[in-house]
Amino acid sequence: MIRLDDVSFRYRAGKAPALRNITCHIRPGELVGLLGRSGAGRSTLAATLNGTIPHLVRGDLTGRVLIGGEDIRATRPRDLADRIGFVFQDFEAQLFSTDVSLEVAFGPENLGVERAEIARRVERCLGMVRLSHLGHKAPAMLSGGQKQRLALASVLALEPKILVLDEPTSDLDPAGRCELLEAIRSLRRSGDLTLLMIDPEIDEMRWADRLIVLDGGRLAMDGTPAALWDRADELENLGVKSFTLAALARRLGLAGRWPDAEAAADAIREGGWRAAAGVAARLRAADDARGAGEVLLEVDHLVHRYPDGTEALGGVSCAIRRGEFVAILGQNGSGKTTLVKHLNGILAPTAGEIRLAGRSLRGQPTTALSRRVGLVFQNPDHQIFAERVWDEVAFGPRLQGLSETDVRGRVEEALAAVGLGGLGDLDPFTLTKGGRQRVAVAGTLATKPEVIILDEPTTGLDSRELQGMMALIGRLNTAGHTIVIITHAMDVAAAHARRVILMRGGRILRDGPTREVFADEPVIEQTGLRPPPVVQVGNRLGVPALTLDELVSCLSRTPDPGPPGGGAPNRRGSDPSA
């Protein structure tokens, strides 16, 4: 179905080839995951499949790219639209209609599909992505995850034989991600859909028939998920985080491939590993020792209704203390972004009150609030506008009326903090997604806010970039900044946040220490989320661990595993040693 023979490509302005001698054949009906670090060539390879390269993006393409035996050099992208569906990494660029239903109908209309069939496809595809109830809503009013699902629905409505998805679940909550992947798999079962999916998370690709890893534009690895399970070192060297449960097995010296946390916990117990006495109490005591300061932000019965009547927040109350690191979690559309946009005055409450250091935000100018509460948007491209990194970061301090000497000091300090020192003359839009995220963070840092809010700061970042971004945020917190993040990356929340706020339907469902909230899996599942695999395994072993290192350090191996069950808690119970 897809055949690449010795394919190389160099962008017109590129110094080195983005693809180097790629030979790859994908059979009809095959589900293939495409992995690799940022800049490995994944998106470039995908763009060759629908003719975007070389017809719309200029450069030097050599070798052959065949789709169903047809050479893409002789076929325009529009002539491939009914055969190849493509969801771009920047999915918002694909949306332009005035309401959700029209967006999905646009493709079939341009293919001349009968009106009744268009209506059927719109209904079916919106149902597949859980957007049926939003058919008449403007796409611009959707959350990031809802927009991503809409982009996929608009492509599915074309009923293509090949589906190319460039990080299609980056903005989705875990439940939405699972539902979406199941919908795609159901399409494959009902026909001969061929799928190529780019994803930075190998754990999300266990269902694929085959995994391909690129590095430096070359094909570095190619095999089934089972074949790559034990090749953690090679994957890590290629910038791909290995399978989480495989890493756990390796750390404990256990063999086997575990499909889920339940199987992993059973195998660990059978291998003689047990939770050391009192580990839960010790972990929680260490958490308690990291106290926070006085209340800085207070949200009191906050209600917000958008102009179309949608109630996004229905009486939210919470308080954030100075020096805290808080993660706000919930499904797409649960009100997370709406909540944080109230904290620096971007949105005004319909009802309720917000106080900063005891003073109401009502009537305070946004420019003054932004100096104390900085917000980094979910999409940095919505925030960045200057042609030079330096001018982007200098914008806030200049707006505050600082002298050019002080502005220079602020800019240099902020760029150094995010690892971009000496790069002020670059055009920010030539940087990777991770680089643009850092520019946005630097622009916020330069105003020296007390509180830094980051909306999905790790979206679209590879493993190395993610670690770098979270290390930066951790340093800011250690330096005294109060941090609030919105994230769907549950492992990020587990490893870094000391407190979690769970939201559902515009209300707070649970608010407490991360370790306590993540131990309560039934409540988390009510929000459509699920803890990371390591946390799930720990819960079943009676260890409220939040990271792989914590879990391994809390286990000990004994020659005699003990009586059946070994005193381990039930599947979702608490640790008796606490």
Which pLDDT tens digit goes with each residue over 345-383?
Answer: 999 999 999 999 999 998 888 878 888 999 988 888 888
Instruction: Name, in order, each residue with C-beta under 8 angstroms of 485's C-beta and a sequence gap of 6 or more.
Output: 325, 326, 327, 328, 453, 454, 455, 457, 473, 492, 493, 496, 497
**Whether residue 568 has pLDDT greater than 50:** no
Going by their DSSP bridges, the two strands 70-71 and 59-67 should be labelled as: antiparallel
Q: Could you report the per-residue pLDDT of 295-350, keeping only the tens digit for each? A: 999 999 999 999 888 899 999 999 999 999 999 999 888 999 999 999 989 999 99
Given a contact cutoff of 8 angstroms between Cβ atoms, the answer to whether 375 and 486 are in contact is: no
Q: Is residue 576 scored above 80 in pLDDT?
A: no
> What confidence category does residue 511 fall into, taking pLDDT thresholds of 50, 70 and 90?
very high
Question: Does the structure show a pLDDT above 50 at 425?
Answer: yes
pLDDT at 528 over 90: no
pLDDT band at 188 (very low <50, low <70, confident <90, very high): low
Q: Where are the alpha helices (DSSP H) in 298-455?
A: 336-342, 366-370, 389-399, 404-417, 433-445
Two tokens at 165?
């998805």
Burial environment of residue 363 by CB neighbours within 10 A (0 to 12, 13 to 18, 19 or more): exposed
Q: Are strands 373-376 and 451-455 parallel, antiparallel or unpaired?
A: parallel
For the segment 71-99, the average pLDDT, to the nearest whole number, is: 87
pLDDT for residue 369: 86
pLDDT of 571 above 80: no
C-beta of residue 434 within 8 angstroms of C-beta of residue 461 = yes
What's this model's pTM, rounded to 2 decimal places? 0.81
Amino acid at 141: M
pLDDT at 181 over 60: yes
How far is it between the farthest Cα atoms of the chain? 72
Q: Give the model's pLDDT for residue 90.
A: 79
Asked if residue 67 has pLDDT above 70, the reply is yes
Instruction: Say if strands 482-486 and 325-330 run parallel, antiparallel, or are unpaired.
Output: parallel
Residue 108, C-beta contacts closer than 8 angstroms, at least 6 positions apart: 117, 118, 121, 157, 158
Q: Where are the alpha helices (DSSP H) in 311-432?
A: 336-342, 366-370, 389-399, 404-417
pLDDT grade, residue 578 (50/70/90)? very low
